[in-house]
Homo-oligomer: A and B are copies of this chain.
């Protein structure tokens, strides 16, 4: 049995709506097993219709949660925290309706650069308080999700995207504190490249807590075009016996004009299909060799 390989929907469009459903068939033909969709905002997608389109294309799906300062498990205001819990419940319900087994992402909240929030010192009692709020919120959300047959996957983000959870060490500790079998860890090698001392060591630390994985280059381009030591990554995944989904998000575009903002999402400006196909194939081949080593 091999890991399902997926592609994030925003590789081709954002927002991703019904007119983009034909991409499902394309993704499948390029060698992808699943699509990673953003949790639809209410009214953005008809869930039943989306599920039919996925089924027609023979594609599975996982969901990526979108947090902000208004729905924020670690927010300073009770209303933000409650909205954060409600959103995770809503996301799990969407996932169940859609047939997605996992909702992943920075479920804990506290976005930084994408929320226009600069880094700031956090007093020690506020830090402790945030950890408590987060653990309480995730307990409620994980229990709800588990009831719907959905697992929640907590993803550490790099230091510029959040000030709450940036390393695998922190994420493992957080998941231990929540202590619900319905919650696990999601690793993204892009963020890990900025925060970890060693990718393979971090994967081994995460071990069986890992339930979702994103394989992204250091610069978010296509895998194999950057500095990531993929051999070492797949070896570590084999060591921990990881059989879960692996998705790709190579949406950095090759466009080095001065003044082009790299952190801002941009649509594709050229046909990327061959590179997407080769990426899935490369990852599959690497994983196969990584497994032989055992």
Q: Which residues of A contact B (CB under 8 A)?
A: 74, 112-122, 127-128, 130-131, 134, 158-161, 163-167, 169-170, 173-174, 193-199, 218-219, 221, 225-227, 229, 256-264, 266
Contacts and interface: CB of A to CB of B under 8 A. Distances in A.
A193 to B, nearest CB: 6
A128 B219 CA distance: 24
A66 to B, nearest CB: 14
A258 B194 contact: no
B113 A119 contact: yes
A163 B119 contact: no
Contact of A119 (B114, B120, B159, B193): B114
A263 B112 contact: yes
B198 A259 contact: no
A62 B129 CA distance: 42
A233 to B, nearest CB: 12
Given A130-B259, A166-B262, A227-B229, 9 more contacts: A113-B119, A114-B118, A121-B261, A121-B266, A134-B258, A158-B160, A159-B261, A164-B258, A196-B226
A119 B261 contact: yes
A130 B261 CA distance: 12
B197 A221 contact: yes
Nearest to A168: B256
Nearest to A232: B227
A256 B170 CA distance: 6
